[in-house]
Chains A and B, each alone.
Chain A
Amino acid sequence: MNKTRFTVNGRQVTCEAEGRTLLVDYLRQQLRLTGTHVGCDTTQCGACMVHVDGKAMKSCTLLVAQLEGSDVTTIEGLAQGNGPHSVQAAFKEHHGLQCGFCTPGMIMSAVDMIRRHGEALTEDVIRHDLEGNICRCTGYVNIVKSIKAAAKDMSGQTP
């Protein structure tokens, strides 16, 4: 058993679990944060995307044990205050989803790429940086549109 202390959405947590416990399983089954999805479970689809210390990572390929002292943010912790996060709002406005299964991961990746590129985020860069997220409805056109709009809306702000 390993004891790991870290934060999830700003809240201090202590996980006592076998070394093989994956972050996504701990989030979903212990913390009941089921907005982080398991799509492929093989590090390809990006439905399980979370932020670890501010960087997008796939929670199906992280052990909880690796996270001692880290800050984890999930889709549930993205919005500050009452309203949705700007990227969530943009996905709603531009209908950046079809079935919605990949959406939490898309949004977590979108926030990460806006942080890295800011206003320089072109459609070409968005499409390249979405390589780690798969939408099996193939609804990419509106996803890209949503991210582009969010990047524009958020210019000058901290994402």
Chain B
Amino acid sequence: MHEFDYFKPPNVEAALKAATEADDPSFLSGGMTLLPTMKQRLAAPSTLVDVTGIESLRGIEPRGEQGLWIGAATTHFEVSASEVVSGFCSAVGTLAGGIGDPAVRHRGTIGGSVANNDPAADYPALILGMNAIVETSKRTIRGDEFFVGMFETALTDGEMITGFEFERPNRASYAKFPNPASRYAVVGVFVAEFANGSVRVAVTGAGSDGVFRWHAAEEALVDEFSERSVQNCPMEDVDMMSDIHAAADYRAALIRVMARRAIINTVRPKG
């Protein structure tokens, strides 16, 4: 790992200031991706600004009658173990509890995962599948506008994610086919149905440009919310990843299977 300066500021303002003053800064949250990447010298930021000491970035809170807020520096373990989360929508905790392994979940955070936008990460499917509001140090961005491409997001230099706001779905579920070694998604599908009858289907692990929506499945599920609806509907026209873990056509087939599983597992949230 190349040497760098390390700061752990107490608030967002100090963090933004430290980032502005550095040559090539990077925000550090759990570090479960960034530190391994730096050890391999694939990344060499001049300055790490550790955001985990910022109290306002941590926590899980109800927002109004139907909403949920999760702070950016909240760990996967905290999300998976939260009764507020399970009471809001059990699929959220299930997704967080399936990331990596227990040690990674104790350290890794939702903000870090979403900012990194790994094409096989789980959280992007949740943010896009719920069209969540991504709160940053500058503005709010909807899930639909946030993910730009592989490891690319709408975040600009020095912009920090501070939290996420979710609207309660009528029902939702996440199903993934994990890589047996890394537990990243070979394919993961998040399905959610909302009070106005709209349905969203977000797919991670498969697309060359990262997470995407399967629009034909969404339309079919609005007509009939049943696993039969996705059996024959056309696959989204995106470039599928092809690698030693799975060929493109295999991933496309897995999307349908994971979507079916998610739909079958879908349960109406409590309350």
Contacts and interface: CB of A to CB of B under 8 A. Distances in A.
Interface stretch (B103-111, B140-148, B154-162, B191-199): B103-111
Interface residues of A, number: 29
| Dominant secondary structure at the A interface | mixed
A131 interface: yes
B102 A112 contact: yes
B39 A42 contact: yes
B102 A68 contact: no
B2 A43 contact: no
B8 interface: yes
A20 B77 CA distance: 26
Given A42-B39, A109-B103, A65 B77 contact: no
B103 A56 contact: yes
A66 interface: yes
B151 interface: no
Interface residues of B, number: 28
B103 A20 contact: no
Given A55-B77, A61-B36, A18 B3 contact: yes
A72 interface: no
B2 A20 contact: yes
A56 to B, nearest CB: 5
A24 to B, nearest CB: 12
Contacts of A135: none
A132 B3 contact: no
Contacts of A133: 101
B5 interface: yes
Given A19-B6, A63-B35, A66-B52, A49 B1 contact: no
A14 B207 CA distance: 47
A150 interface: no
B31 A63 contact: yes
B35 A57 contact: no
B252 interface: no
Given A42-B39, A61-B36, A63-B35, A56 B106 contact: yes
B183 interface: yes
A71 interface: no
B39 A131 contact: no
Contacts of B28: 66
Given A61-B36, A62-B31, A63-B31, A43 B6 contact: no
A9 interface: no
Interface in A38-75: 41-44, 46, 49, 52, 55-58, 61-63, 65-66, 68
A112 B106 CA distance: 11
B48 interface: yes
B106 A41 contact: no
B236 interface: no
A49 B106 CA distance: 12
A44 B103 CA distance: 10
B6 A63 contact: yes
Contact of B102 (A20, A61, A129): A129
B31 A132 contact: no
Interface string B86-124: 000000000000001111101100000000000000000
B108 to A, nearest CB: 10
Given A18-B3, A43-B104, A129-B102, 5 more contacts: A42-B36, A57-B106, A65-B6, A65-B8, A66-B8
Interface of A: 2, 18-20, 41-44, 46, 49, 52, 55-58, 61-63, 65-66, 68, 109, 112-113, 116, 129, 131-133
7 contacts: A20-B3, A42-B39, A56-B103, A65-B8, A66-B52, A112-B102, A132-B104
